[in-house]
């Protein structure tokens, strides 16, 4: 299948005319609303001021994903800013999801950054509260947390739909943005998780991306609750997936990242295999194949930290795209 549309080099924001009922010009919203199973991926920003480092990292995803997430100080570690990564890649025609963390920015900075990103053609914003500074490489930094993910969603929704800042002052041209949030189906209390999703939807979330899924039976239970509440009809649910590099890496992830649940049987399988990295990719492919068949799941979000070059193989082997080829720059 041909791509939905091609971006216009040098002017990605003008490449797609807005469609009725859409909030953005973006490819991600178009694909989700027409019912395609989408694939997004997380782009690890460089510790560098060289734009070529960003381009090289993005190139491995080209033609395999529908949008790239530009992270905003993930894990409370310092990297190139999400707005800068978006500026660099958007001019080439990539579809970007700009992450915004409330940990580091107050309401003035956030609203200004969103207006600037939208002016550059960024169509998708992922609203995050953010990890605490004690988790990262600058534990003595002063956290902001002026807003949280829910109040941020409500703020950006009002900027878009009501053309106003939080102060009440009017915005001349509102941002055309598709709003997202993060979910964690695997963090206790489990029964509360669908209701927390409902709160984010009420605040403005139109798509969500989940924490890593290594426990498909638990995901099925969560999605059954989500569909029973009809939330999948109000918001597009993308499930986080990724390959483990080793059993040790999985054990560390389970112990140190909130809400990541990895069954013992999966770690035992990693320990007993001859090639842990290959087995980690095999497991990821199997999970993606199972996730695609769960009612209410609209796509997957690939987080292949330090294994980004394996993303194409994982996506290809999983067949989640069903023969559809995402956008790629024309030679």
DSSP string, 77-134: ---S-HHHHHHHHHTTT--EEEEEETTT--HHHHHHHHHHHHHTT--EEEEE----GG
- The residue behind tokens 């580091």 is 104
Burial of residue 124, with CB atoms counted within 10 A of its CB: 0-12 exposed, 13-18 middle, 19 or more buried: buried
Q: Which stretches within 122-185 are classed as H helix? A: 149-161
Omega cis (within 30) before 189: yes
pLDDT of residue 134: 83
- Could you confirm whether domain 12-243+295-318 is CATH 3.90.550.10? no
Long-range contacts of 77-81 (CB under 8 A, 24+ apart): 77/136, 77/137, 77/138, 78/47, 78/136, 78/137, 78/138, 79/44, 79/45, 79/46, 79/47, 80/45, 80/46, 80/47, 80/48, 80/49, 80/54, 81/45
Closest by CA position to 165, among listed 219, 113, 241, 208: 113
Q: Are 138 and 78 in contact (CB under 8 A)?
A: yes
**Cα separation values, 156 from 16, 107, 175, Å:** 22, 10, 9
First to last CA, the chain: 18
Q: Are 245 and 307 in contact (CB under 8 A)?
A: yes
Q: Are strands 297-302 and 67-70 parallel, antiparallel or unpaired?
A: unpaired
Q: Are strands 178-183 and 96-101 parallel, antiparallel or unpaired?
A: unpaired
Q: How many CB atoms lie within 10 A of CB 158?
A: 18
Q: Are 144 and 102 in contact (CB under 8 A)?
A: yes
C-alpha–C-alpha distance, residues 314 and 64, integer Å: 10
C-alpha–C-alpha distance, residues 44 and 302, integer Å: 12
Per domain, the residue ranges of the chain are 12-243+295-318
- Can you read off the two tokens belonging to residue 65? 């994903």
**Cα separation values, 177 from 28, 156, 252, 290, Å:** 11, 9, 36, 31
Contacts of 148 by beta carbon, 8 Å cutoff, 6+ apart: 102, 129
Beta bridge partners of 193: none
Per run of 10 residues, the mean pLDDT along the chain (length 331 residues) is 39 62 95 97 93 96 96 86 96 95 96 97 96 83 95 98 98 98 96 97 98 97 98 98 96 90 96 94 98 98 91 96 91 71
pLDDT of residue 225: 98
């Amino acid at each position: 299948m041909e791509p939905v549309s091609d971006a216009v080099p040098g002017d990605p924001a003008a490449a797609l005319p807005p469609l009725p009922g859409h909030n953005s010009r973006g490819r991600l919203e178009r694909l989700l609303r027409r019912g395609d199973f989408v694939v997004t991926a997380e782009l690890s920003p460089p510790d560098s001021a060289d734009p070529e480092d960003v381009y090289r990292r993005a190139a491995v995803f080209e033609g395999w994903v529908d949008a790239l997430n530009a992270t905003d100080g993930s894990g409370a570690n310092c990297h190139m800013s999400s707005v800068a990564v978006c500026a660099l890649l958007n001019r080439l025609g990539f579809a970007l999801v700009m992450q915004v963390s409330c940990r580091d920015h107050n309401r003035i900075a956030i609203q200004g950054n969103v207006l600037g990103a939208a002016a550059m053609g960024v169509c998708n914003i992922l609203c995050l509260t953010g990890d605490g500074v004690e988790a990262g490489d600058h534990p003595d930094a002063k956290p902001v947390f002026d807003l949280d993910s829910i109040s941020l969603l409500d703020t950006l929704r009002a900027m878009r739909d009501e053309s106003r800042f939080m102060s009440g002052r009017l915005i001349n041209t509102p941002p055309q943005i598709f709003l997202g949030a993060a979910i964690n189906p695997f963090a206790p209390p489990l029964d509360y998780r669908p209701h927390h999703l409902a709160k984010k939807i009420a605040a403005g979330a139109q798509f969500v991306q989940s924490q890593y899924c290594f426990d498909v039976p638990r995901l099925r239970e969560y999605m059954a609750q989500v569909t029973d509440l009809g939330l999948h009809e109000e918001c597009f649910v993308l499930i986080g997936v990724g390959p483990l590099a080793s059993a040790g890496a999985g054990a560390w992830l389970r112990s140190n990242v909130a809400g990541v649940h990895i069954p013992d049987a999966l770690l035992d399988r990693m320990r007993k295999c001859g090639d842990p990295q290959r087995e980690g990719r095999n497991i990821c492919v199997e999970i993606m194949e199972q996730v695609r068949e769960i009612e209410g799941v609209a796509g997957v979000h690939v987080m292949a930290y330090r294994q980004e070059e394996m993303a194409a193989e994982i996506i290809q082997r999983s067949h989640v795209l069903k023969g559809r080829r995402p956008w790629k720059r024309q030679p």
